[in-house]
Amino acid sequence: MNVLFTWLDWLWVGAFLLLMIGSGVLFYRLGKRSQSDFFLAGRGLPWWLPASSVYATHTATDTPMWITGVIYKYGLAGIWYTFFSAWAAISAFVSTRIFRRSLAYTQAEWNVVRFTGLGAEMLRGWMAGWQVFMNMFVLGWVGIAMGKVCAFLFGWPLWVGLVSFSSGCAIYVLAAGYWGVVMADFQQGVIAFLVIMIVSIWGIMVAGGPTGIVEKLIILGETDRMNPFAFTGWWTGEFPAAWFVTMMVIAILGGFGMGTSIDWYPEAQRIQSARTVRDSTYSIWWGTLVGLVRNSVWAIAILGFFVLFPGMTETSEYEMGWFRLGFDYLPVGMVGFFFAAILAIHLSTISSHLNLGALYATRDLYQHYWNPEASERTLVWVGRWSTLILLLGSFVYGLMMENITEWLIFALWIMTAGIWLPNILQVVWWRFNAWGYLSAWIANLGFSWLVVWVLPEFGVIPDLADYQQFWLLMLLGACVFIPTTFLTKPESMDHLVKYYVQARPLGWWGPVRREAERRGLIQEDSPKPPKVV
Amino acid sequence: MPLIRRTWTAAEADKWTREDWFVIVLSPICYFALTLGVALSFLLIWEGFAITAVSIVLVVWMHWIIDPKLKAISEEYEKNQQEYLRELEDAVRWKQHEQAAP
């Protein structure tokens, strides 16, 4: 499909690119002041700015494709696949508060605030390296999705869409760092939300309006698609209720931990950029809520697409459904506006991951391990060079993506399945130590490989459903990290008391709290009368 | 003593209390109900409007419960933030921080 753009369409696109890049560059002077400014906007943002960034960052070019895929396949029940972001429901009031009080720039840095000694340093190095890799990977993934959209619309080679728009975005990230990211994200978030609403409502009307969609689903014999709880059984089928329950547990209880979702890592940066604990809480809560509401509207538009084009079987065909609603049905002159919104969606994700990857490279690798005495000016320049390297690396990843996607989805699964529980325990249980957490990561690498690929391949175990894999990996991991924790020493009480007084974690922290009270560092729960000797 | 407390000293607000647990329960319910409610409303199904209306009330109630506590935590914490930041910078530069008197 090649879309014909009129001069008005190109005008929308040009004006929009100028606005985005220009507004980012405007904050050049603020971004270059210090490392804190280049990566956290000086920790001074009111809640609605990081909230808009949370929303904009998690609306990527591939998001409508993915959501269209699950809704087209499972009907309205597919909306629960998008509910993973609900980890923020509890996190906003628990782990967000605790993390903001730690003041760590990154999750890798938090490891040395929470743990101590060699184990903590190993964790920091590992997590920083992993995050640099992951951000480069996400940039490649999202970048090539833009390449596909441009190929779909204009017939361009894949690399053109990948390279051109990511490079344009890099201009304001290099110039102004996180200041540029968050200011552009605000505009991009507003534009993207409005256009998603307009196109989705337009698509719903084209499909006959809400009542028309319902009537056509009845005629097609597909009424189950309107039922958000139409699963394929309790335990069997492609979408059993057991998987729904597992997803709810992962998402909702995951909010007690840090890193239970891959979205935690960009959110951690937004949490620290908010000016107070209260601002960080509201930024995460409201930014995520807007994303969930958007998903609901998207879902109905995709039901509209389904009644217009039922019976598609190829994922690559139906996952472009929402884009088709816009490009096929919007009036002339509005198509460019729609494409400009797609650019907004794209640039917000690219800019966030460029800056986030550079943060880990600069703060956790360069400064902490290589040049601890680096000046603020040097750190800002290292941040810029890291941004550039990430950008170039993402082009390589993007062009390789067709061949390595399966591997990388496996890598994402590794991050969430077996270490979900340790990610919670590190926050809520004082006795959990760096060696326990490290052993969980290492064990999970091996167990994931065995459970997902090797053992089913050799017929030792059957192919397991997603929910079975999750619970099995969690159980196997616990058999390693719980003994490791008890067989190694707890973190030093001095370190734990310092962390407790600063961060005030929730959960099983009794011995540490009592020690902090004994030292007179915090107020006792029930003050006892002084002993008379 | 009222069920929901709305005035806090900084030291009291630092502790995890009943108000936090109310919000920990309410917040996922709000997300779940709004996701469901908005989707059904866009299909003009009346249950969707009802669920959305209830969840908006829950959102307002949740903020009414937790906002005074968050304000108290934030105000007090900002006073200590500079000292904590100095310790963090020392740690990243591999410097031993001199223990400040509590």
Cα-Cα-Cα-Cα dihedral sign, residues A312, A314, A315, A320: negative
What CA dihedral angle connects A268, A269, A270 and A275, to 10 degrees? 100
Measured between CB atoms, does A303 come within 8 Å of chain B?
yes
Has residue B27 been placed in a domain? yes
The least confident of A252-261, A367-376, A415-424 is: A415-424
A200-220: pLDDT as tens digits? 999 999 999 999 999 999 999
CA–CA separation, A410 and A405 (whole Å): 8
What's the rounded Cα separation, in Å, for the pair A415 and A250? 12
The predicted pLDDT at position A421 comes to 95
* Minimum-distance CB partner of A90 among B27, B75, B102: B27
Residue A109 to residue A124: CA distance in whole angstroms: 6
Q: Sorting pLDDT into bands at 50, 70 and 90, what band is A403?
A: low
Helical segments of A274-331, H only: 277-308, 315-318, 321-329
Q: Is residue A28 predicted with pLDDT exceeding 90?
A: no
In this structure, whether the domain defined by A7-25+45-403 belongs to CATH 3.20.20.210 is answered with no
Does B98 fall in a domain? no
The confidence band for B100, taking pLDDT boundaries of 50, 70 and 90, is: very low
User: Quick one: what percent of chain B has pLDDT higher than 70?
Assistant: 92
What residues of chain A lie within 8 A of the CB of B101, using their CB? none
B37 in a domain, yes or no?
Answer: yes
How far is the alpha carbon of B2 from chain A, nearest alpha carbon, in Å? 19
Could you tell me the CA-to-CA distances from A281 to A267, A445, B68, B69 in Å, in that order?
11, 33, 13, 12
Interface contacts (A, B; CB < 8 Å) = 116
A473 in contact with B, Cβ within 8 Å: no
Question: Do the beta carbons of residue A485 and residue A435 sit within 8 Å?
Answer: yes
Whether B38 sits inside 8 A of A89 (CB atoms) is: no
With cut-offs at 50, 70 and 90, classify the pLDDT of residue A415.
low
Per the structure, the complete domain to which residue B42 belongs is given by: 17-92
Residue B99 lies in a domain: no
Geometric angle at alpha carbon A392, from A141 and A67, rounded to 5°: 15
Residue A452 or A455, more confident: A455
Sign of the four-CA dihedral A125, A128, A134, A139: negative
The region of weakest confidence among A151-165, A178-192, A396-410 is A396-410
Asked whether residue B84 is assigned to any structural domain, the reply reads: yes
Q: Residue A101 is nearest to which of B39, B77, B92, comparing CB atoms?
A: B77
CA of B95 vs chain A CAs: smallest distance (Å): 9
Residue A513 contacts B where some CB pair is shorter than 8 Å:
no
Measured between beta carbons, the chain A residues lying within 8 angstroms of B85 are: 103
Checking if the pLDDT of A300 tops 60, the result is: yes
Say if residues A409 and A153 touch (Cβ distance below 8 Å): no
Cα A303 from Cα A300, distance rounded (Å): 5
What tokens does A95 get? Answer: 């782990």
Tell me whether A520 touches chain B (CB under 8 Å).
yes
Q: What percent of chain A has pLDDT over 70?
A: 95
In chain B, DSSP finds a helix count (H) and a strand count (E) of 3, 0
Between CA B48 and CA B37 the distance in angstroms is: 4
Which is higher by pLDDT, B102 or A170? A170
Mean pLDDT computed over A143-151: 87
* Per-residue pLDDT tens digits for A240-291: 999 999 999 999 999 999 998 889 999 999 999 999 999 999 999 999 999 9
CA quadruple A200, A53, A160, A410: dihedral sign: negative
Query: pLDDT tens-digit profile of A38-93?
Result: 999 999 999 999 999 999 988 888 888 889 999 999 999 999 999 989 999 999 99
Q: Which two tokens stand for residue A515?
A: 């020690």
The confidence band for A402, taking pLDDT boundaries of 50, 70 and 90, is low
**Does the residue B5 lie in any domain?**
no
> Is the CB of A525 inside 8 Å of chain B's CB atoms?
yes
Contact residues on chain A for B76, CB-CB shorter than 8 A: none
Q: State the pLDDT confidence band at A533, using cuts at 50, 70 and 90.
A: very low
Provide the ipTM: 0.92
Per the structure, the count of domains in chain B is: 1
Of B79, B1, B37, B88, nearest in space to A79 by CA: B37
What pLDDT does residue A409 have? 64
**Cα A496 to chain center, whole Å?**
29
Is B60 within a domain? Answer: yes
Task: Kindly give, in sequence order, each residue whose CB lies less than 8 Å from that of residue B90, ignoring residues fewer than 6 positions away.
Answer: B96, B97
Give the model confidence (pLDDT) of B81-99 as tens digits.
888 888 888 888 887 765 5
DSSP string, A420-488: HHHHHHHHHBTT--HHHHHHHHHHHHHHHIIIIIIHHHTTSSPPPPHHHHHHHHHHHHHHHHHHHHHHS
Which residues on chain B are in Cβ contact (under 8 Å) with A287?
Answer: none
Mean predicted confidence (pLDDT) in A393-411: 73
Contact A272, A113 (CB under 8 A): no
Minimal-distance CA residue of chain B relative to A293: B35
Nearest to A24 by CA among A174, A194, A191, A193: A174
For residue A6, the SS3 value is: coil
Average pLDDT, chain A: 90
Higher pLDDT, A28 or A479: A479
pLDDT at residue A148 is higher than 90: no
Contact of B101 with chain A, judged by CB distance below 8 Å, is answered with no
| pLDDT at residue A406, as a whole number | 61
Specify the residue for token string 């540029």.
Answer: A180
Mean pLDDT of A93-122: 95
Average pLDDT over residues A91-111: 96
- Contacts with A463 (C-beta within 8 Å, 6 or more apart), sequence order: A456
Q: Is any Cβ of chain A less than 8 angstroms from the Cβ of B79?
A: no
pLDDT of residue B101: 42
